[in-house]
Amino acid sequence: MPAALTASQRRRLIAAARKAAAAAYAPYSRFPVGAAVLMADGRVFSGCNVENASFGLTNCAERTAVFSAVAAGSRRLRAVAVFTPTPAPTLPCGACRQVLHEFGPEAQVLSVCAGAGQVETPLAALLPHAFGPGDL
Ligand code: THU
């Protein structure tokens, strides 16, 4: 069981996720999303959604953030914060849950939005009975 996030880690992650949304490339959906990941080594990486004229090639903010961390040599995910431009918080899509599971099966997921409210839940509650590296 990883240690609970501190209030300052939460604040830092949420601020990074909100800021990352400003860089979103979302001309088709007009739905800018930002994400930030806290890694076990203490580093924070952020990402935004990156859409494509061939819509199915879109990369969600959460995956952009995770891929940035991995590309920088950081692989153990402790927590992810997601910001969506919605009145209520929303949680990562199924594809992103699977990618988050690969690097942080015990990660915490925080969701914040343009409106009020915040959700925090373990990833394991969002992706029960997950398929992962140990199944191969
Ligand atoms: N999107 C994300 O980046 N993360 C989420 O958690 C939900 C969806 C993106 C994908 C697409 O660019 C846009 O939001 C609308 O689905």
Per-residue pLDDT reduced to its tens digit, 24-47? 999 999 999 999 999 999 999 999
- Span 76-89, average pLDDT: 98
d(CA 106, ligand 1 centre) in Å: 23
Fold of 7-130: Cytidine Deaminase; domain 2 (3.40.140)
Q: Over 80: is that where the pLDDT of 19 sits?
A: yes
Atom 8 of ligand 1: nearest residue by CA position: 60
Annotated catalytic residues are: 62
pLDDT at residue 116, rounded to an integer: 95
Atom 5 of ligand 1: nearest residue by CA position: 92
Extents of the domains making up the chain: 7-130
pLDDT at residue 3, rounded to an integer: 78
pLDDT at residue 1, rounded to an integer: 67
Percent pLDDT > 70 in the chain is 99
d(CA 26, ligand 1 centre) in Å: 9
Q: Is 67 left (phi over 0), alpha (psi -120 to 50) or beta?
A: alpha
- By the 8 A CB rule, do 98 and 130 touch? yes
